[in-house]
């Protein structure tokens, strides 16, 4: 961004880049490797424990318990709970329909009708993720050639799946538990840092050449939004970690999406700008607001990491910055006759988007503080 504060912005960008390259990336990679090893060890433990228990309980096909444990044991507790729910419901529906349709008709017609019914029932109940598991259970009950009544095979199948799910939930909860809500908190903090970098890259193209890494930062921000949305769904399946955790995480995720939309709109607004003279008249108010917004992204990220939001940003007052920019806009409005309509419209669009982003940033901190029940400082 070719504003009067360009030197300050360059110094901030260099500091962020060095910190990420020298500190954060090695730590992130190391932690990801540790999580991979822990997840692998927990999966192997759950599978072996299921097999051992199946032998002790006299289950004929105990390996299905191990298969179930391997399938449902995810990288965090919330995702494991979600996968376990889908699997047990799919298995119950499949066992019931498989046994029922085996009582009448002949293969393959009763089998076809059973699978068709399972998909329809799961869809009507809003259990689309369970429909495939129901179909697998029906296939085992109706097509596997095994001595004994079909009802016995259905009960065995349900028992084996329940065993696998209970073991998987026990292991993921007691052995190095990885809470989705904690991963989401860290993910949201990183998301706001990435959004701040995206914001800076957008403004670098205001009255200048677009930043080379702008498309990459946009893709990174969108990927983080999607990843954190998945973690949010998993976190909702976990026990609450304290007052307002769910509300606070959900609110921050919503603000993150709103900020991304506002940034994309700002990116469109600054497109094709080239040394706009009208926007230069908005200095220093425009540049001060831009710099404080970037600092605001970093401040909110720090508040998320510490999970304490009733701490106002030191030396920053975004509402005051907005008031000064509005006053400056009013002061230079009469000079618009000397500039092109495109320049004037672009300047108005940029300042409107900056004010929206600033207010969203402030609201993300204030509203989250209220949601988690913090006292005002």
Structural tokens at position 182: 């904690």
Burial of 186 (0-12, 13-18, 19+ CB in 10 A): middle
Closest by alpha carbon to 374, among 309, 329, 319?
Answer: 309
Cα distance between residue 189 and residue 95, in whole Å: 44
CA atoms of 349 and 238, how far apart (whole Å): 43
User: What tokens appear for 216 in the block?
Assistant: 């990459």
- CA–CA separation, 274 and 340 (whole Å): 12
How far is residue 187's CA from residue 164's CA, in Å, rounded to a whole number? 30
Q: Kindly tell me if the per-residue pLDDT of 88 is higher than 70.
A: yes
Residues of the chain with CATH 1.20.58: 179-371
Mean pLDDT score of the chain = 83
> Is 179-371 a CATH 1.20.58 domain?
yes
**What pLDDT does 242 receive?**
66
Predicted confidence (pLDDT) at residue 4 exceeds the cutoff of 60: no
Q: What is the pTM of this model?
A: 0.74
* Lowest mean pLDDT, pick from 5-9, 55-59, 299-303: 5-9
Residue partners of 224: CB distance under 8 A and separation at least 6 = 187, 190, 191, 194
pLDDT confidence of residue 198: 94
Q: What confidence tens digit (pLDDT) does each residue in 187-245 have?
A: 999 999 999 999 999 988 776 677 888 899 999 999 999 999 988 988 888 876 666 78
Q: What is the pLDDT of residues 35-50, one digit of tens each?
A: 788 889 999 999 999 9
How confident is the model at residue 170, as a pLDDT?
Answer: 92
- Region of poorest pLDDT, from 51-55, 98-102, 156-160, 166-170: 156-160
How many other CB atoms are there within 10 angstroms of residue 28's CB atom? 13
**Nearest CA-CA partner of 356 in 364, 344, 368:** 364
10 Å CB burial of residue 210 (0-12, 13-18, 19+) is middle
pLDDT of 177 above 50: yes
pLDDT for the residue 303: 92
Q: What is the mean pLDDT of the segment spanning 247-253?
A: 92
Instruction: Give residue 31's pLDDT.
Output: 60
Q: Which of 219, 174, 170 is nearest to 65 (CA)?
A: 170
Pair 16, 295: CB distance under 8 Å = no
Per DSSP, the three-state class of 290 is: helix
Position 240 scores a pLDDT of: 63
Neighbours of 345 (CB within 10 A): 12
Confidence of residue 16 (pLDDT cuts 50, 70, 90): very low
pLDDT at 255: 96
Residue 66 reports pLDDT greater than 60: yes
pLDDT at residue 284 is higher than 90: no
User: Which comes out higher in pLDDT, residue 18 or 151?
Assistant: 151
User: CB of 49 within 8 A of CB of 151?
Assistant: no
Residues 289-294 have a mean pLDDT of 91
- Check whether 17 has a pLDDT greater than 70: no
Comparing CA positions, the residue from 158, 34, 142, 38 lying closest to residue 88 is: 158
- Determine the average pLDDT of the residues in 344-352: 85
The pLDDT of residue 24 is 45
Computed over its alpha carbons, how large is the radius of gyration of the chain? Answer: 28
Distance CA 233, CA 217 (A): 24
């Amino acid at each position: 961004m070719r504003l009067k504060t360009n030197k300050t912005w360059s110094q901030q960008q260099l500091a962020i880049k060095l910190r990420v390259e020298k500190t954060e990336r090695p730590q992130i990679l190391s932690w990801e490797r540790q999580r991979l090893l822990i997840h692998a060890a927990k999966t192997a433990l759950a599978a072996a424990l299921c097999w051992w228990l199946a032998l002790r309980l006299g289950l004929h096909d105990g390996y299905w318990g191990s298969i179930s444990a391997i399938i449902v044991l995810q990288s965090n507790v919330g995702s494991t709970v979600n996968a376990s729910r889908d699997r047990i419901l799919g298995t119950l529906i499949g066992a019931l329909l498989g046994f029922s349709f085996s009582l009448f008709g002949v293969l393959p017609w009763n089998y076809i009708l059973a699978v068709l019914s399972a998909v329809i029932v799961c869809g009507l109940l809003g259990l689309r993720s369970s429909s495939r598991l129901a179909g697998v259970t029906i296939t085992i009950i109706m097509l596997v050639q095994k001595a004994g009544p079909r009802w016995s095979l259905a009960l065995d199948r349900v028992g084996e799946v329940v065993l696998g799910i209970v073991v998987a939930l026990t292991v993921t909860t007691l052995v190095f538990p990885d809470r989705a809500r904690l991963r989401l908190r860290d993910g949201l903090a990183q998301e706001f840092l990435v959004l701040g970098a995206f914001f800076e890259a957008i403004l670098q193209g205001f009255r200048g050449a677009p930043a080379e890494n702008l498309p990459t930062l946009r893709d990174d921000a969108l990927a983080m939004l999607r990843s954190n949305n998945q973690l949010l769904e998993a976190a909702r399946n976990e026990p609450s970690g304290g007052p307002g955790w769910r509300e606070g995480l959900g609110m921050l995720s919503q603000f993150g999406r709103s900020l991304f939309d506002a940034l994309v709109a700002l990116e469109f607004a600054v497109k094709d700008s080239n040394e706009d003279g009208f926007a230069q008249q908005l200095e220093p108010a425009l540049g001060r607001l831009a710099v404080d917004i970037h600092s605001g992204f970093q401040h909110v990220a720090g508040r998320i990491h510490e999970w304490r939001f009733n701490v106002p940003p030191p030396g920053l007052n975004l509402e005051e910055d907005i008031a000064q920019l509005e006053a400056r806009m009013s002061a230079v409005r009469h000079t618009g006759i000397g500039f092109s309509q495109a320049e004037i419209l672009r300047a108005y669009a940029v300042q409107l988007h900056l004010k929206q982003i600033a207010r969203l940033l402030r609201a993300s901190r204030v509203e989250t503080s209220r949601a988690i029940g913090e006292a005002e400082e």
